[in-house]
Amino acid sequence: MDTIVLQDLKNIVSPERVIYKEPLSKHTTFKIGGPADYFVITKKVEETAAVIQYCNQRNLPILMIGNGSNLLISDAGLRGVVVKQEDNTKEFIVTTCEEGYLVTGGAGMNLSAFAMKIANESLTGFEFAAGIPGSLGGAVYMNAGAYGGEIKDCIRSARVLSKEGDILNLSREELELSYRSSMIQKKGYYVIDATFLFQKGEKEEILSKIEELNRARKEKQPLEYPSAGSTFKRPEGYFAGKLIMDAGLRGYRVGGAMVSEKHCGFVINTGDATAKDVLQLIDDIRRIVKEKFGVTLEPEVRLIGEKAMES
Protein backbone atom coordinates (compact mmCIF):
# COMPACT_ATOMS: atom_id res chain seq x y z
CA MET A 1 0.00 0.00 0.00
CA ASP A 2 1.25 3.49 -0.89
CA THR A 3 0.25 5.45 2.21
CA ILE A 4 0.93 8.76 0.44
CA VAL A 5 -1.61 7.97 -2.32
CA LEU A 6 -4.12 6.76 0.25
CA GLN A 7 -3.79 9.93 2.32
CA ASP A 8 -3.87 12.20 -0.74
CA LEU A 9 -7.11 10.62 -1.94
CA LYS A 10 -8.62 10.97 1.55
CA ASN A 11 -7.73 14.67 1.43
CA ILE A 12 -9.59 15.06 -1.87
CA VAL A 13 -12.77 13.33 -0.66
CA SER A 14 -13.95 12.35 2.81
CA PRO A 15 -11.68 9.68 4.39
CA GLU A 16 -14.56 7.21 4.77
CA ARG A 17 -15.06 7.29 0.99
CA VAL A 18 -11.59 5.95 0.20
CA ILE A 19 -11.19 2.20 0.63
CA TYR A 20 -8.02 0.17 0.25
CA LYS A 21 -8.35 -3.21 -1.52
CA GLU A 22 -12.12 -3.04 -1.93
CA PRO A 23 -13.51 -6.21 -3.64
CA LEU A 24 -15.03 -5.11 -6.94
CA SER A 25 -17.37 -8.10 -6.87
CA LYS A 26 -19.42 -5.90 -4.52
CA HIS A 27 -19.81 -3.28 -7.24
CA THR A 28 -20.68 -5.26 -10.39
CA THR A 29 -23.93 -6.96 -11.37
CA PHE A 30 -21.88 -10.05 -12.30
CA LYS A 31 -20.75 -10.26 -8.64
CA ILE A 32 -17.26 -10.98 -9.95
CA GLY A 33 -14.00 -9.06 -9.59
CA GLY A 34 -10.90 -8.87 -7.42
CA PRO A 35 -9.85 -5.90 -5.28
CA ALA A 36 -9.11 -2.37 -6.42
CA ASP A 37 -5.91 -0.87 -5.05
CA TYR A 38 -7.89 2.25 -4.14
CA PHE A 39 -11.68 2.56 -4.35
CA VAL A 40 -13.01 6.12 -4.20
CA ILE A 41 -16.62 7.31 -4.00
CA THR A 42 -17.17 10.86 -5.28
CA LYS A 43 -20.21 12.96 -4.43
CA LYS A 44 -19.50 16.09 -6.46
CA VAL A 45 -18.24 16.81 -9.97
CA GLU A 46 -15.42 18.83 -8.44
CA GLU A 47 -14.29 15.79 -6.44
CA THR A 48 -14.36 13.57 -9.52
CA ALA A 49 -12.34 16.12 -11.51
CA ALA A 50 -9.81 16.46 -8.67
CA VAL A 51 -9.34 12.67 -8.45
CA ILE A 52 -8.83 12.47 -12.23
CA GLN A 53 -6.27 15.27 -12.15
CA TYR A 54 -4.45 13.66 -9.23
CA CYS A 55 -4.27 10.27 -10.97
CA ASN A 56 -2.86 11.96 -14.07
CA GLN A 57 -0.19 13.71 -12.01
CA ARG A 58 0.82 10.43 -10.36
CA ASN A 59 0.43 8.33 -13.55
CA LEU A 60 -2.09 6.12 -11.77
CA PRO A 61 -4.53 4.03 -13.85
CA ILE A 62 -8.13 5.11 -13.28
CA LEU A 63 -11.47 3.43 -13.99
CA MET A 64 -14.81 5.18 -13.56
CA ILE A 65 -17.80 2.95 -12.80
CA GLY A 66 -21.50 3.45 -12.20
CA ASN A 67 -23.65 0.45 -11.35
CA GLY A 68 -21.10 -1.97 -12.80
CA SER A 69 -23.76 -3.56 -14.99
CA ASN A 70 -21.69 -4.16 -18.13
CA LEU A 71 -18.34 -5.09 -16.61
CA LEU A 72 -16.34 -8.26 -16.17
CA ILE A 73 -13.40 -7.44 -13.89
CA SER A 74 -10.32 -9.62 -13.52
CA ASP A 75 -10.06 -11.98 -10.56
CA ALA A 76 -6.73 -10.27 -9.85
CA GLY A 77 -8.53 -6.99 -9.38
CA LEU A 78 -7.35 -3.64 -10.70
CA ARG A 79 -4.25 -1.61 -10.08
CA GLY A 80 -4.63 2.10 -9.54
CA VAL A 81 -7.85 3.91 -8.64
CA VAL A 82 -11.47 2.91 -9.24
CA VAL A 83 -13.94 5.78 -8.89
CA LYS A 84 -17.62 5.23 -8.29
CA GLN A 85 -19.58 8.35 -9.09
CA GLU A 86 -22.44 9.11 -6.79
CA ASP A 87 -22.34 12.80 -7.62
CA ASN A 88 -25.53 14.26 -9.03
CA THR A 89 -27.52 11.09 -8.26
CA LYS A 90 -30.48 13.21 -7.18
CA GLU A 91 -30.30 15.62 -10.09
CA PHE A 92 -33.46 15.65 -12.19
CA ILE A 93 -34.39 18.86 -14.00
CA VAL A 94 -37.30 19.37 -16.40
CA THR A 95 -37.54 22.47 -18.62
CA THR A 96 -39.62 23.34 -21.66
CA CYS A 97 -38.42 24.28 -25.13
CA GLU A 98 -40.01 24.82 -28.55
CA GLU A 99 -39.52 21.16 -29.43
CA GLY A 100 -40.92 19.68 -26.22
CA TYR A 101 -39.50 18.99 -22.78
CA LEU A 102 -35.83 18.81 -21.84
CA VAL A 103 -34.88 16.49 -18.98
CA THR A 104 -31.43 16.49 -17.38
CA GLY A 105 -30.19 13.70 -15.12
CA GLY A 106 -26.92 13.08 -13.29
CA ALA A 107 -24.55 10.32 -14.42
CA GLY A 108 -24.84 8.47 -11.13
CA MET A 109 -28.63 8.19 -11.28
CA ASN A 110 -30.05 4.69 -11.60
CA LEU A 111 -31.36 4.36 -15.16
CA SER A 112 -34.60 2.67 -14.13
CA ALA A 113 -35.26 5.38 -11.52
CA PHE A 114 -34.59 8.05 -14.15
CA ALA A 115 -37.05 6.39 -16.54
CA MET A 116 -39.74 6.24 -13.85
CA LYS A 117 -39.27 9.93 -13.01
CA ILE A 118 -39.74 10.74 -16.69
CA ALA A 119 -42.88 8.59 -16.81
CA ASN A 120 -44.30 10.30 -13.73
CA GLU A 121 -43.91 13.63 -15.54
CA SER A 122 -46.16 12.15 -18.28
CA LEU A 123 -43.28 12.30 -20.76
CA THR A 124 -42.88 9.59 -23.37
CA GLY A 125 -39.87 8.26 -25.28
CA PHE A 126 -37.82 6.57 -22.56
CA GLU A 127 -39.99 3.58 -21.76
CA PHE A 128 -37.47 1.20 -23.37
CA ALA A 129 -34.88 2.04 -20.69
CA ALA A 130 -37.00 1.42 -17.60
CA GLY A 131 -35.70 -2.11 -17.07
CA ILE A 132 -32.10 -1.69 -18.18
CA PRO A 133 -29.73 -2.15 -15.22
CA GLY A 134 -27.02 0.40 -14.69
CA SER A 135 -26.49 4.11 -14.31
CA LEU A 136 -27.41 6.95 -16.64
CA GLY A 137 -23.73 7.70 -17.26
CA GLY A 138 -23.05 4.11 -18.26
CA ALA A 139 -26.06 4.11 -20.56
CA VAL A 140 -24.78 7.18 -22.40
CA TYR A 141 -21.23 5.77 -22.49
CA MET A 142 -22.37 2.65 -24.37
CA ASN A 143 -25.49 4.01 -26.09
CA ALA A 144 -27.61 1.49 -24.22
CA GLY A 145 -30.77 0.22 -25.84
CA ALA A 146 -33.57 -2.33 -25.70
CA TYR A 147 -36.86 -3.15 -27.39
CA GLY A 148 -36.23 -0.93 -30.39
CA GLY A 149 -35.05 2.15 -28.47
CA GLU A 150 -31.58 3.58 -27.87
CA ILE A 151 -30.10 6.48 -25.94
CA LYS A 152 -29.19 8.17 -29.23
CA ASP A 153 -32.88 8.41 -30.15
CA CYS A 154 -33.67 10.95 -27.43
CA ILE A 155 -30.44 12.48 -26.09
CA ARG A 156 -29.69 16.12 -26.88
CA SER A 157 -26.36 16.69 -25.14
CA ALA A 158 -24.04 15.52 -22.37
CA ARG A 159 -21.50 17.10 -20.08
CA VAL A 160 -18.32 15.10 -19.68
CA LEU A 161 -14.98 15.26 -17.93
CA SER A 162 -11.93 14.88 -20.12
CA LYS A 163 -8.93 12.79 -19.11
CA GLU A 164 -7.41 16.04 -17.87
CA GLY A 165 -10.42 16.77 -15.67
CA ASP A 166 -11.84 19.55 -17.87
CA ILE A 167 -15.62 19.88 -18.30
CA LEU A 168 -16.84 19.65 -21.92
CA ASN A 169 -20.34 20.15 -23.33
CA LEU A 170 -21.03 17.75 -26.20
CA SER A 171 -23.98 17.86 -28.58
CA ARG A 172 -25.80 14.76 -29.79
CA GLU A 173 -23.76 14.89 -33.00
CA GLU A 174 -20.47 15.30 -31.16
CA LEU A 175 -21.25 12.25 -29.01
CA GLU A 176 -21.08 10.08 -32.16
CA LEU A 177 -23.49 7.51 -30.77
CA SER A 178 -23.78 4.24 -32.66
CA TYR A 179 -24.54 0.62 -31.79
CA ARG A 180 -23.11 0.16 -28.26
CA SER A 181 -20.51 2.81 -28.98
CA SER A 182 -19.82 6.50 -28.44
CA MET A 183 -17.10 9.09 -28.76
CA ILE A 184 -16.97 9.04 -24.95
CA GLN A 185 -15.59 5.49 -25.12
CA LYS A 186 -13.09 6.37 -27.81
CA LYS A 187 -11.75 9.45 -25.99
CA GLY A 188 -11.87 8.01 -22.49
CA TYR A 189 -14.20 10.72 -21.19
CA TYR A 190 -16.37 10.47 -18.06
CA VAL A 191 -20.06 11.44 -18.12
CA ILE A 192 -21.25 14.10 -15.63
CA ASP A 193 -24.87 14.43 -16.75
CA ALA A 194 -27.02 14.23 -19.87
CA THR A 195 -30.01 16.10 -21.31
CA PHE A 196 -32.83 14.45 -23.28
CA LEU A 197 -35.79 15.63 -25.33
CA PHE A 198 -39.25 14.13 -24.73
CA GLN A 199 -42.88 14.81 -25.58
CA LYS A 200 -45.99 14.80 -23.42
CA GLY A 201 -48.00 11.62 -23.38
CA GLU A 202 -50.68 9.87 -21.36
CA LYS A 203 -49.21 8.84 -18.03
CA GLU A 204 -51.31 5.67 -17.76
CA GLU A 205 -50.25 4.53 -21.24
CA ILE A 206 -46.57 5.23 -20.48
CA LEU A 207 -46.65 3.30 -17.20
CA SER A 208 -48.55 0.48 -18.87
CA LYS A 209 -45.88 0.24 -21.58
CA ILE A 210 -43.12 0.12 -18.94
CA GLU A 211 -44.97 -2.62 -17.06
CA GLU A 212 -45.39 -4.59 -20.28
CA LEU A 213 -41.69 -4.37 -21.15
CA ASN A 214 -40.59 -5.26 -17.62
CA ARG A 215 -42.90 -8.26 -17.64
CA ALA A 216 -41.34 -9.39 -20.92
CA ARG A 217 -37.85 -9.00 -19.43
CA LYS A 218 -38.76 -11.07 -16.41
CA GLU A 219 -40.25 -13.83 -18.58
CA LYS A 220 -37.41 -13.97 -21.12
CA GLN A 221 -34.27 -12.95 -19.25
CA PRO A 222 -32.45 -14.69 -16.34
CA LEU A 223 -32.89 -11.79 -13.93
CA GLU A 224 -32.68 -14.16 -10.96
CA TYR A 225 -28.93 -14.69 -11.59
CA PRO A 226 -26.00 -12.27 -11.54
CA SER A 227 -24.95 -11.34 -15.07
CA ALA A 228 -23.75 -8.41 -17.14
CA GLY A 229 -26.80 -8.41 -19.37
CA SER A 230 -26.43 -9.41 -23.01
CA THR A 231 -23.00 -10.96 -23.33
CA PHE A 232 -22.52 -10.36 -27.07
CA LYS A 233 -23.30 -7.60 -29.52
CA ARG A 234 -25.93 -8.38 -32.14
CA PRO A 235 -24.12 -9.61 -35.26
CA GLU A 236 -25.43 -8.08 -38.48
CA GLY A 237 -28.24 -10.22 -39.86
CA TYR A 238 -28.39 -12.54 -36.85
CA PHE A 239 -29.33 -12.74 -33.17
CA ALA A 240 -26.52 -13.82 -30.85
CA GLY A 241 -28.84 -15.76 -28.53
CA LYS A 242 -30.31 -17.82 -31.37
CA LEU A 243 -26.87 -18.62 -32.81
CA ILE A 244 -25.72 -19.82 -29.39
CA MET A 245 -28.88 -21.88 -28.90
CA ASP A 246 -28.65 -23.40 -32.40
CA ALA A 247 -25.03 -24.31 -31.67
CA GLY A 248 -26.31 -26.55 -28.87
CA LEU A 249 -24.86 -24.41 -26.09
CA ARG A 250 -27.94 -23.84 -23.95
CA GLY A 251 -26.86 -24.62 -20.36
CA TYR A 252 -23.19 -25.03 -21.39
CA ARG A 253 -20.97 -24.18 -18.46
CA VAL A 254 -17.41 -23.62 -17.34
CA GLY A 255 -17.03 -23.70 -13.57
CA GLY A 256 -19.66 -21.43 -12.09
CA ALA A 257 -20.37 -19.62 -15.39
CA MET A 258 -23.20 -20.89 -17.58
CA VAL A 259 -25.09 -20.04 -20.75
CA SER A 260 -28.57 -19.23 -19.47
CA GLU A 261 -31.19 -21.85 -20.19
CA LYS A 262 -33.82 -19.13 -20.29
CA HIS A 263 -32.02 -16.86 -22.79
CA CYS A 264 -28.84 -18.07 -24.51
CA GLY A 265 -27.65 -14.52 -25.09
CA PHE A 266 -26.83 -14.26 -21.38
CA VAL A 267 -23.87 -15.74 -19.53
CA ILE A 268 -24.81 -16.03 -15.86
CA ASN A 269 -22.99 -16.50 -12.57
CA THR A 270 -24.57 -19.55 -10.94
CA GLY A 271 -23.03 -18.64 -7.61
CA ASP A 272 -19.27 -19.07 -7.59
CA ALA A 273 -18.13 -18.07 -11.07
CA THR A 274 -14.76 -16.42 -11.54
CA ALA A 275 -13.73 -14.04 -14.29
CA LYS A 276 -11.55 -16.84 -15.63
CA ASP A 277 -14.63 -19.09 -15.89
CA VAL A 278 -16.59 -16.45 -17.77
CA LEU A 279 -13.74 -15.65 -20.14
CA GLN A 280 -13.23 -19.32 -20.96
CA LEU A 281 -16.96 -19.71 -21.57
CA ILE A 282 -17.01 -16.65 -23.83
CA ASP A 283 -14.04 -18.03 -25.79
CA ASP A 284 -15.74 -21.42 -26.16
CA ILE A 285 -18.98 -19.84 -27.37
CA ARG A 286 -17.20 -17.67 -29.92
CA ARG A 287 -15.14 -20.58 -31.23
CA ILE A 288 -18.07 -23.00 -31.57
CA VAL A 289 -20.42 -20.44 -33.16
CA LYS A 290 -17.67 -19.48 -35.62
CA GLU A 291 -17.06 -23.13 -36.50
CA LYS A 292 -20.73 -23.93 -37.00
CA PHE A 293 -22.06 -20.77 -38.64
CA GLY A 294 -19.05 -18.71 -39.72
CA VAL A 295 -20.20 -15.79 -37.57
CA THR A 296 -17.81 -13.98 -35.24
CA LEU A 297 -19.48 -12.89 -32.01
CA GLU A 298 -18.13 -9.74 -30.39
CA PRO A 299 -18.48 -9.32 -26.61
CA GLU A 300 -20.75 -6.53 -25.45
CA VAL A 301 -19.46 -6.94 -21.91
CA ARG A 302 -16.40 -4.83 -21.12
CA LEU A 303 -13.45 -7.00 -20.05
CA ILE A 304 -11.47 -5.01 -17.51
CA GLY A 305 -8.07 -5.77 -16.00
CA GLU A 306 -4.72 -7.04 -17.24
CA LYS A 307 -5.46 -10.71 -16.59
CA ALA A 308 -8.86 -10.46 -18.26
CA MET A 309 -7.42 -8.85 -21.38
CA GLU A 310 -4.68 -11.47 -21.68
CA SER A 311 -7.10 -14.40 -21.45
Nearest to residue 302, comparing CAs of 226, 220, 229, 225? 229
> How far is Cα 179 from Cα 144, in angstroms, rounded to an integer?
8
What is the β-pairing status of strands 62-65 and 78-85? parallel
- The H or E element that residue 187 is part of is helix 183-187
Rounded Cα distance between 267 and 148, Å, is: 22
- Calpha distance 137→143 (Å, rounded): 10
CB atoms within 10 A of CB 238: 14
Residues near 88 by beta carbon (within 8 Å), at least 6 away in sequence:
45, 105, 106, 107, 108, 109, 192, 193
C-alpha to C-alpha distance for 183 and 195, rounded to whole angstroms:
16
The catalytic site residues sit at 180, 230, 300
Q: Are 162 and 189 in contact (CB under 8 A)?
A: yes
CA dihedral sign, ordered 134, 136, 137, 141: positive
What backbone phi and psi angles, to 5 degrees, belong to 294?
70, 20
End-to-end CA distance of the chain: 27
- Residue in 106, 99, 27, 130 with CA at minimum distance from that of residue 70: 27
